[in-house]
Chain A
Amino acid sequence: AQSVTQLDSHVSVSEGTPVLLRCNYSSSYSPSLFWYVQHPNKGLQLLLKYTSAATLVKGINGFEAEFKKSETSFHLTKPSAHMSDAAEYFCVVSDGAGGYNKLIFGAGTRLAVHP
């Protein structure tokens, strides 16, 4: 069965410094992986997705993630944090069992950005 582990429940950075949100996954076959962002009292927005094409995936708002099969990781990065990046981030794997592709969510990482 597929699973996702987000290694940090909270990350705090200063504005203008790099962001690293860590995610490890477990999958019995080639997974599809996603990062979603949720701003306070809002729904979920897709940041980026990996679907077995390029291992370095670029998303919206300057975020990117690198798929590393040998490390079963899909860490999210951004070179320079902005105050508007403060939100909760979810790493997600697609469970293809039965062909219905359900999403399996990590527990989330709350990113705080300080001036």
Chain B
Amino acid sequence: NAGVTQTPKFRVLKTGQSMTLLCAQDMNHEYMYWYRQDPGMGLRLIHYSVGEGTTAKGEVPDGYNVSRLKKQNFLLGLESAAPSQTSVYFCASRPAGQGIYGYTFGSGTRLTVV
């Protein structure tokens, strides 16, 4: 089925370890987003991309890096994980043009940093 696929679905990291979360979409969407979800805070935007090779900071970018080398993939990296980065991470994509239409979300990655 077409959509947004996130890998892995679950991960436990030790403080200081690094990892990369992968988001892949097969809908040829221009825009892609990484959000984190924490209890009582809704979803907050970490980074986003408006096209291949471009990225921009969102609301809570510190401690994360991203790359969009291919249009269909948006990678979120944690260089040195901290317990404060324990969260559920959601990737989303949407087509360009109309802007507000057509967001599609992945099913999330649950990350625990111990």
Contacts and interface: CB of A to CB of B under 8 A. Distances in A.
Nearest to A100: B50
Interface residues of A, number: 22
Contacts of B108: 42-43
Bin the interface of chain B by size.
Answer: 20 to 34
Contact of B100 (A43, A49, A106, A108): A49
Contact of B48 (A43, A94, A102, A108): A102
B106 interface: yes
B40 A43 contact: no
Contacts of A42: 107-108
A32 interface: yes
Interface in A34-60: 42-46, 49, 51
Interface of A: 4, 9, 32, 42-46, 49, 51, 90, 94, 96, 99-103, 105-108
14 contacts: A32-B100, A43-B106, A49-B101, A51-B100, A94-B100, A99-B99, A100-B31, A101-B99, A103-B33, A105-B42, A106-B42, A107-B40, A107-B42, A108-B42
